[in-house]
Amino acid sequence: MPRTKPKPRPPPPASRDGTARQWAPGRLPEEFPLHALVDEEGRLAQGAAVPVPDAELVALYRWMVLERQLDERMITLQRQGRIGFYVGSIGEEATVFGSAAAMAPQDWIFPSYREHGAAFLRGLPLEAFMCGLLGNAGDPGRGRQMPCHESWAPGRFVSISSPVATQLPQAVGVAWAARIRGDDVVPLVYFGDGSTSAHDFHTGLNFAAVQRLGVVFACRNNGWAISVPRERQTASETIAQKAIAYGMRGERVDGNDLLAVLDATRRARARAAAGEGPTLLEFVTYRLEGHSTSDDPRAYRPAEVVEPWKKKDPILRLRRLLQRRGLLDEAAAAALLEEVRVEIQAALRQAEAKPAKPPVESLFEDVYAVPMRQQVEQLAELREAMAADPRVANPRHVDGA
Amino acid sequence: MPRTKPKPRPPPPASRDGTARQWAPGRLPEEFPLHALVDEEGRLAQGAAVPVPDAELVALYRWMVLERQLDERMITLQRQGRIGFYVGSIGEEATVFGSAAAMAPQDWIFPSYREHGAAFLRGLPLEAFMCGLLGNAGDPGRGRQMPCHESWAPGRFVSISSPVATQLPQAVGVAWAARIRGDDVVPLVYFGDGSTSAHDFHTGLNFAAVQRLGVVFACRNNGWAISVPRERQTASETIAQKAIAYGMRGERVDGNDLLAVLDATRRARARAAAGEGPTLLEFVTYRLEGHSTSDDPRAYRPAEVVEPWKKKDPILRLRRLLQRRGLLDEAAAAALLEEVRVEIQAALRQAEAKPAKPPVESLFEDVYAVPMRQQVEQLAELREAMAADPRVANPRHVDGA
Amino acid sequence: MPVMNIIQAVNDALRLEMRRDPSVVVLGEDVGAFGGVFRATAGLQQEFGAARVIDTPLAEGGIVGTAIGMALYGLRAVPEIQFADFIFPAFDQIVNEVAKYRHRSGGQYPCPITIRTPYGGGIKGGHYHSQSPEALFIHTPGLKVVCPATPRDAKGLLAAAIRDPDPVLFLEPKRVYRAAKGEVPEGELVLPLGQAAVTRVGTQVTLIAWGAMWHEADRAAAEAAAEGIDVEVLDLRSLQPLDLDAIVASVRKTGRAVVVHEAPRTCGFGGELSALIQEHCFLSLEAPVVRVTGFDTPFPYTLENEYLPRAPRILKALRETVNF
Amino acid sequence: MPVMNIIQAVNDALRLEMRRDPSVVVLGEDVGAFGGVFRATAGLQQEFGAARVIDTPLAEGGIVGTAIGMALYGLRAVPEIQFADFIFPAFDQIVNEVAKYRHRSGGQYPCPITIRTPYGGGIKGGHYHSQSPEALFIHTPGLKVVCPATPRDAKGLLAAAIRDPDPVLFLEPKRVYRAAKGEVPEGELVLPLGQAAVTRVGTQVTLIAWGAMWHEADRAAAEAAAEGIDVEVLDLRSLQPLDLDAIVASVRKTGRAVVVHEAPRTCGFGGELSALIQEHCFLSLEAPVVRVTGFDTPFPYTLENEYLPRAPRILKALRETVNF
Ligand SMILES: Cc1ncc(C[n+]2csc(CCOP(=O)(O)OP(=O)(O)O)c2C)c(N)n1
Ligand SMILES: Cc1ncc(C[n+]2csc(CCOP(=O)(O)OP(=O)(O)O)c2C)c(N)n1
Ligand SMILES: [Mg+2]
Ligand SMILES: [Mg+2]
């Protein structure tokens, strides 16, 4: 059942003094400082507490290391032609793991396309993910989408689509449905800074705020949308202040600080669950690598601008914190690294052992719950064509020679 | 040539004190008071000056009276079945005439659908407008669109389309083109409070702000989008504060105060022309009547809520100001009223004397600059059908009996 | 049996489905307290509350986008788009999202929503309150497209659409919203999607139509009968899935076909039907399949009678086809 | 004559038009300093400055919407949509605004913009980097739709599109962006819109294709020739306006036709062509018009070779058609 309707807040009073007041950029008071808990040296801010038990903190560190290793390995694989495409989160790991770890297990996650780390947290096996990269018979998505467009319903990790920001109103719909059903479920939805320009950003935030729906809007502000820097995406000083347009809460968070991300997301989740409505979180981070394997950032971004951000590496920072707190020494760190490498290698081997293609009928399934006449007839047509000429299924015979 | 690129403003500094700061609705300082120059009794605010010469002020009063009379007459005409549809601006006249009068003659106007008053200011003859209402052979729009979807290129008054807010990015494009051409041209674009929810509101404001283009965004916040009140359209306390999301200026203006509207629009226009970028103006007003002649507001809005707004009538307020300043006495007001009635009646008589339908070939013209094969063949097909059976062009012979 | 018009039948179906299944939710612009600009949702908010009959902000992409989330979660969302002409701001959510959700997720995320929208001309709506965009959605695999012509079909097909496991675009012929009256069974009525109705049996020519134009087709067939032309009339009712068997059976019998639709001719659904008929009935065809359609222009205001493919133009086509 | 690929030809046309006419403006995502994700606008910002070659925010509706304003003002805006799959957020601006501006204003406001976008499959792009939405736009009166297959045509038709008084959707076959190479005249080249090219003269069957699939058709025709089937191949080049005369002349001669396109079959442009051929060549047709197309599914990733109507499937259709 819906919570009580929010009372419309009264607008500010009229001034009849004949002078015009208008909001001008730059006059925004410092309402959006960057929330951080750990500095680059791994020192916890005075008075701050670590928001998770030690074991979980180490586990999150391990995930971040695994993700980094995975990204690097897959990028290499793509260069070798073993997978077709890859999009990773190098430098942005804390935004993904910190936020996903802050949610409750029943919560839904709407990814953009860099957040497969959140799917791992929700139980997506590494091997299944890699089958998706290969688009082979082991892919839970049945080889239908590009690499890094995974779905994982058992973990309430929603299917990825390429058109950016479409997932925002969809996440709002889940919050709405959960409220109608009376369930304690809060959606977390990811998107990039570039995606704030898309129209679904606007409709998503507006619908959520009007209905006071509990949604965590998580913007990974990594400074770039392919070749377009954030300043050419929006003239607002921060992404967080866009919350004001919707009468919603907004917060700017150091996205390379796992603890700050976790903390801010947890508070946003708590408010959502308490019926206090949505929050726009801006995770300030940086895309250290190219947009994807299809991209070469040297064409539009001098290497120097990246340098300062390398020092802010979220994994390094967390490692320093762990070291300071005696939770991880050099040896353990090295062992952990080796362990995740082995894990990745094993998953890859298993994934590559699967048949390279899903069966041909899989193309015609899931268009509708039950294939209609066209799908049935066209499958037969395709089968017949394949039987008549093996080149139908084989690019080399046609395109190459 | 484009003005110098705006320097990206620095974001607020980081706080590493371990405490989270976040913007929360309600904490907005009183940045958006209602700008007003004349009170309901017609008294000018202390220290304020009337921003136009007396003669222009009286002329604007006349326009507002004419518009009100026109609306009332056309609504009656629609009830009598003499026109098919009408949408007026009763109670909102000051938002239209105040803003349009503040622009330079070379500026472009992008209407939503209640602003034919601005077209009159730009020279659209009343008779041509009425031909549009009748959709007859005298309509400059050639009877192709519903009533109140006029175009008037000689006055740089752009063609109206029904889908709301589409005109916002288009107006931005005009500002962009003018900058490229080096012209001193500022577009003024109108839209309603409901239209701020549409996706083109977002893209329009964002593109303008990023490029620092001189556009005057004029929101007629009349409290309603058909049956949906403003509070269910957005949770923000004001429309003006949405400017913050785009790093743009915003101002809240008493939309029933012609002078305040004129003053605010003029300042926004001046800034636009000076290369200082776009402004979002919120004109706070009220839709005293139904959404259009298709609507009956009694189904969703108790009559009482309208009462207080009737007292704020913008025409009454301006009349009181004129009286106070000795620019209009009772007799002159009565004469003026009679004059506009006669003018309307004369235009109507002339319009109704025009042939009821544009020629049949007009349907196939202007789809392309030169009709293509389909249009030519289909016109022939239609002509042949009409020759064979007169019922083709006549509804009664088919639908009625 | 009570006599209803199409608005009442739609309202009845929505009410019954909402009573039957608490997961059915209606959302859109002005659908709540006001009951919709055409009154199709009148009384629903009063009966089911504002949580299940929701006035949304003015953004079709948001309406469909949030309906998707509801559907993923397990609700049966029934968004209303106020006029089919305003569906385009939601086009990306419909064509790239709704239609592909099940497929792209490997079957993990079905997305069964039913988008209701009044379509078509004949109400003096001009460019933006008259369009018939069915072809755009029929061309999109993953969507079903339904378009009833009568109150009974409106009720039974809407119930079926809401219960269907796939997303459905439900096009309501607003030109005959009130004019088309007929007997409608009380209580539950669910008609299968994908079955055409042979509304008039004939031998000389098959006349295919749907929605508002079916009424014109019916009229034209009656006039043709008076001239001694024996027309078989098919009301398709569902455009995707299509009852190809019914079409093929009829055209194999008559050897001639005329297809009617309001949308512009080029790349309209009539082209697809013409192609299908030719593919399946090539050896039976005694005349080319003829299309009587809206013209390749935007929909006009004053000349809308000239634009619409009404009975006189259909009759002319029938005559020419049988005399080919 | 220099040899170019399609990217280079597009780039060349843009450069020459920008040099020739200061009112030509290019805008889109990543088109500026970076030169576009496919490099089609490479070097343009360097030559013409950031005022005329503009990186926009990530919003297709804003790109087309602002391009409209530029066009109304008198510029010749050439927006790029990064992939045709991402054109749908701009659908309302294209279908309700661009297409209807001239008509709805009684001819007062023409809106001549040229929207460039790479379309089609075969680059392992899956659901969202492979679609062929031409039918949706051909169905929209007011738009022209052009789709070149070769570098020469890409250059000459793009120049014509930019100069055309009407809005043009310019679909670029990204599958052969680099693979299709050919001689392209230096300097100004303007080819008329609405003329198909007969790229192979034959007598037994007419094979109709455009864009990337023309290359497959060409291949299939060559293979068919080796089997003794004499195929006439038409590259449509412009889909709206359509060179119906060329199609009719060819089919009246051959009596048979095969149409190829990547988009899903149902309600694709193939249906329209099939209907037109039947309407104009009924008495000449010796076999039904056959459609070799993408299937009625979303575009797949791994099985894209199976999905695409490549030469082997076309060849099969040619054989069956001549043996009907
Ligand atoms: C609607 C749409 N337009 C264009 C694209 C092409 N595209 C893919 S990612 C991207 C940039 C996105 O930037 P951002 O939102 O900041 O996310 P990031 O990649 O930085 O994580 C673009 C333009 C797309 N996917 N969807
Ligand atoms: C995209 C779109 N959706 C729906 C409509 C139907 N409609 C016409 S006017 C209107 C309300 C607009 O409200 P607002 O923007 O506040 O303008 P007002 O009528 O109050 O001046 C609606 C929903 C439309 N014209 N366009
Ligand atoms: Mg980014
Ligand atoms: Mg309003």
Test mutation, D103, D130, D244, D266, chain C, max C CBs within 10 A = D266
Q: Do A367 and D298 touch (CB under 8 A)?
A: yes
- Which member of A199, A300, A383, A391 is catalytic? A300
Question: Among B26-30, B251-255, B369-373, which stretch is predicted with the lowest mean pLDDT?
Answer: B26-30
% of chain B exceeding 70 in pLDDT: 91
For the CA of A221, the nearest atom of ligand 1? 16
- Cβ of residue B167 lying under 6 Å from some atom of ligand 2: no
- Which member of B79, B82, B300, B349 is catalytic? B300
User: Residue-wise over D75-92: b if at least 16 C-beta within 10 A, else e?
Assistant: bbbbbbbbbbbbbbbbbb
Instruction: Record the tokens describing residue B159, joined without a space.
Output: 């063609």
Residue A397 annotated in active site: no
Pairing mode of beta strands B216-221, B224-225: unpaired
Ligand nearest to the CA of B197: 2
Q: What is the pLDDT of residues C52-85, one digit of tens each?
A: 999 999 999 999 999 999 999 999 999 999 999 9
With cut-offs at 50, 70 and 90, classify the pLDDT of residue A193.
very high
Pair (A391, A258) in one structural domain = no
CA–centroid distance, C123 to ligand 3, in Å, is 47
Pair (B286, B144) in one structural domain = yes
Judging contacts by C-beta atoms under 8 Å, the chain C residues touching residue A200 are 61-62, 65, 92-93
User: Which secondary structure element, helix H or strand E, spans residue A309, and what is its range?
Assistant: helix A307-311
Quick check: helix, strand or coil at residue C263?
strand
Residue D191 vs residues A240, D156, D173: alpha-carbon distances, Å: 50, 5, 18
Structural domains of chain D in order of their starting residue, each with its CATH number: 3-183 (3.40.50.970), 197-322 (3.40.50.920)
With cut-offs at 50, 70 and 90, classify the pLDDT of residue A33.
confident
For the CA of B292, the nearest atom of ligand 2? 19
Instruction: Record the tokens describing residue B207, joined without a space.
Output: 């593109």
Distance CA(C127)–CA(B144), nearest Å, equals 7
Pair (B391, B253) in one structural domain = no
Per-residue pLDDT, averaged over D34-50, amounts to 97
Q: Is the pLDDT of residue B304 over 90?
A: yes
Q: Is the pLDDT of residue A20 over 90?
A: no
Test mutation, B87, B148, B197, B372, chain C, max C CBs within 10 A = B197
% of chain A exceeding 70 in pLDDT: 91
Q: In the block, which residue shows the tokens 């921060």?
A: A238
Q: Is the pLDDT of residue A373 over 70?
A: yes
Q: Do C106 and A141 touch (CB under 8 A)?
A: yes
More confident: C67 or A22: C67
CA–centroid distance, B226 to ligand 2, in Å, is 7
Say what the pLDDT of residue A401 is: 34
Does B174 contact chain D (CB < 8 Å)? Answer: yes
% of chain D exceeding 70 in pLDDT: 100
Domain count, chain A: 2
Question: Among A132-141, B207-216, B294-303, B337-346, which stretch is predicted with the lowest mean pLDDT?
Answer: B294-303
Distance CA(C152)–CA(C35), nearest Å, equals 21
- Which member of D127, D129, D215, D261 is catalytic? D129
Q: Is the pLDDT of residue A128 over 60?
A: yes
Which of B22, B231, B247 has its CB closest to that of A8?
B231
Does A293 contact chain D (CB < 8 Å)? Answer: no
Per-residue pLDDT, averaged over A37-43, amounts to 95
Q: Is B48 within the bounds of a domain?
A: yes
With cut-offs at 50, 70 and 90, classify the pLDDT of residue B134.
very high
Ligand 1 pocket check: which of D38, D55, D58 to mutate, most ligand atoms within 8 Å of Cβ?
D58
Say what the pLDDT of residue A194 is: 98
CA–centroid distance, B228 to ligand 2, in Å, is 10
Pair (A389, A347) in one structural domain = no
Distance CA(A111)–CA(A119), nearest Å, equals 9
Say what the pLDDT of residue B32 is: 86
Closest CA to C72 of A139, A110, A147: A110
Q: Is A29 within the bounds of a domain?
A: no
Residue of A nearest to D176 (CA): A399
Say what the pLDDT of residue D290 is: 98
Q: Is B20 within the bounds of a domain?
A: no
Q: Is the pLDDT of residue B401 over 50?
A: no
Q: In terms of residue numbers, what domain contains A256?
A: 34-352
Pair (B208, B343) in one structural domain = yes
Per-residue pLDDT, averaged over C287-307, amounts to 98
Judging contacts by C-beta atoms under 8 Å, the chain B residues touching residue A10 are 237
Judging contacts by C-beta atoms under 8 Å, the chain B residues touching residue A267 are 20
- Cβ of residue B162 lying under 6 Å from some atom of ligand 2: yes
Judging contacts by C-beta atoms under 8 Å, the chain B residues touching residue C126 are 144-146, 149, 162
Q: Do A23 and B45 touch (CB under 8 A)?
A: no
Ligand nearest to the CA of D126: 1
Q: In the block, which residue shows the tokens 């009587």?
A: C292
Q: What is the pLDDT of residues C126-136, one digit of tens each?
A: 999 999 999 99
Pair (A392, A308) in one structural domain = no
Q: Do C279 and D288 touch (CB under 8 A)?
A: yes
Q: What is the pLDDT of residues C225-238, one digit of tens each?
A: 999 999 999 999 99
- Cβ of residue B45 lying under 6 Å from some atom of ligand 2: no
Give phi and psi for C238, each to the nearest 5. -125, 125
Distance CA(C91)–CA(C81), nearest Å, equals 11
CA–centroid distance, A327 to ligand 4, in Å, is 59
Q: What is the pLDDT of residues A136-155, one digit of tens each?
A: 999 999 999 999 999 999 99
Judging contacts by C-beta atoms under 8 Å, the chain A residues touching residue D126 are 144-146, 149, 162
With cut-offs at 50, 70 and 90, classify the pLDDT of residue B16.
low
Instruction: Record the tokens describing residue D236, joined without a space.
Output: 């449509």
Give phi and psi for B212, each to the nearest 5. 50, 50
Q: Are the CB atoms for A103 and A188 separated by under 8 Å?
A: yes
Instruction: Record the tokens describing residue C83, joined without a space.
Output: 């006029």
User: How close is the nearest chain D Cα to the Cα of C92, in Å?
Assistant: 5
> What pTM does this model have?
0.97
For the CA of A193, the nearest atom of ligand 1? 16
Pair (A61, A207) in one structural domain = yes
Q: Using the 3D structure, point to which of B318, B333, B352 is the last residue of a domain.
A: B352
Q: Is B28 within the bounds of a domain?
A: no
Say what the pLDDT of residue B31 is: 78
Per-residue pLDDT, averaged over A9-34, amounts to 63
Quick check: helix, strand or coil at residue B224?
strand
Distance CA(B219)–CA(B207), nearest Å, equals 17
If you average pLDDT over every residue of chain B, what do you get?
Answer: 93
Distance CA(D300)–CA(C106), nearest Å, equals 11
Say what the pLDDT of residue B13 is: 58
- Cβ of residue B224 lying under 6 Å from some atom of ligand 2: yes
Pair (A236, A382) in one structural domain = no
Does A387 contact chain B (CB < 8 Å)? Answer: no
Q: Do B236 and A249 touch (CB under 8 A)?
A: no
Does A1 contact chain B (CB < 8 Å)? Answer: no
Pair (B280, B384) in one structural domain = no
Q: Using the 3D structure, point to which of A318, A334, A352 is the last residue of a domain.
A: A352
Q: Euclidean distance between the first and final Cα of chain C, in Å?
A: 44
A-contacting residues in C 275-304 (Cβ below 8 Å): none
Q: Is B15 within the bounds of a domain?
A: no
Q: Are the CB atoms for B213 and B176 separated by under 8 Å?
A: yes
Say what the pLDDT of residue B25 is: 65
Pair (B279, B366) in one structural domain = no
User: Residue-wise over B334-361: b if at least 16 C-beta within 10 A, else e?
Assistant: eebeeebeebbeebbebbbebeebbeee
Q: How many CB pairs under 8 A join B and D?
A: 153
User: Which secondary structure element, helix H or strand E, spans residue D238, and what is its range?
Assistant: strand D238-240
Q: Is B248 within the bounds of a domain?
A: yes
Residue of D nearest to C86 (CA): D92
CB atoms within 10 A of CB A92: 26
If you average pLDDT over every residue of chain C, what do you get?
Answer: 98
Residue B287 annotated in active site: yes
Q: What is the pLDDT of residues C224-283, one digit of tens each?
A: 999 999 999 999 999 999 999 999 999 999 999 999 999 999 999 999 999 999 999 999
Residue A84 vs residues A77, A128, A397, C59, D13: alpha-carbon distances, Å: 9, 16, 20, 37, 31
* ipTM for the whole complex: 0.97
Does A131 contact chain B (CB < 8 Å)? Answer: no
Q: Is A19 within the bounds of a domain?
A: no
Q: Is the pLDDT of residue B391 over 80?
A: yes
Q: Is the pLDDT of residue B201 over 60?
A: yes
Q: What is the pLDDT of residues B44-95, one digit of tens each?
A: 998 889 999 999 999 999 999 999 999 999 999 999 999 999 999 999 999 9
Per-residue pLDDT, averaged over A79-87, amounts to 96
Q: What is the pLDDT of residues C303-318, one digit of tens each?
A: 999 999 999 999 999 9
User: Residue-wise over B266-288: b if at least 16 C-beta within 10 A, else e?
Assistant: bbbbebbeeebbbbbbbbbbbbb
Pair (A247, A186) in one structural domain = yes
For the CA of A164, the nearest atom of ligand 1? 26
Q: Is the pLDDT of residue A243 over 70?
A: yes
CATH of the domain at A185: 3.40.50.970
Per-residue pLDDT, averaged over C7-27, amounts to 98
Q: Is the pLDDT of residue B12 over 80?
A: no
% of chain C exceeding 90 in pLDDT: 100
Q: How many CA atoms lie within 13 A of A372 on its CB side?
A: 23
Using DSSP, how many helices (H) and how many strands (E) does chain B show? 12, 9
Q: Do A177 and C102 touch (CB under 8 A)?
A: no
CA dihedral angle for residue B291, residue B160, residue B246, residue D63, rounded to 10 degrees: 140
Pair (B328, B364) in one structural domain = no
Q: Is A10 within the bounds of a domain?
A: no
